[in-house]
Homo-oligomer: A and B are copies of this chain.
Amino acid sequence: MTVVLHAEPALEVAGVFFAALSGGLSAVRKHLDVFGVLVLAGTTGLGGGMLRDVLIGATPPVGITDPVLVATALLSGVAIWFFHPGIARMRRGVVVLDAGALGLFVIVGTTKGLQYDAGMLASVIVGTLTGIGGGVLRDVLTGEVPLVLQDRQLYAVPALLGAGATVLLWHEGWLAAWSATLVALGVIAFRLLSLWRGWVLPDAAQAAWPGPWNGGRRSR
A residues contacting B by CB (< 8 A) are 27-37, 39-40, 50, 54-57, 59-61, 64-67, 70, 80-86, 89, 113, 116, 118-119, 121-122, 125-126, 136, 140-146, 148-152, 156-157, 200-205, 207-209, 211, 213-215, 217-220
Contact = CB atoms under 8 A, between A and B. Distances in A.
B55 A64 contact: yes
Given A59-B56, A64-B122, A156 B203 contact: no
B32 A203 contact: yes
A136 B220 CA distance: 24
A219 B85 contact: yes
A53 B29 CA distance: 32
Given A33-B202, A35-B157, A205-B31, A59 B60 contact: no
A82 B209 contact: yes
A149 B141 contact: yes
A215 B65 contact: no
A122 to B, nearest CB: 4
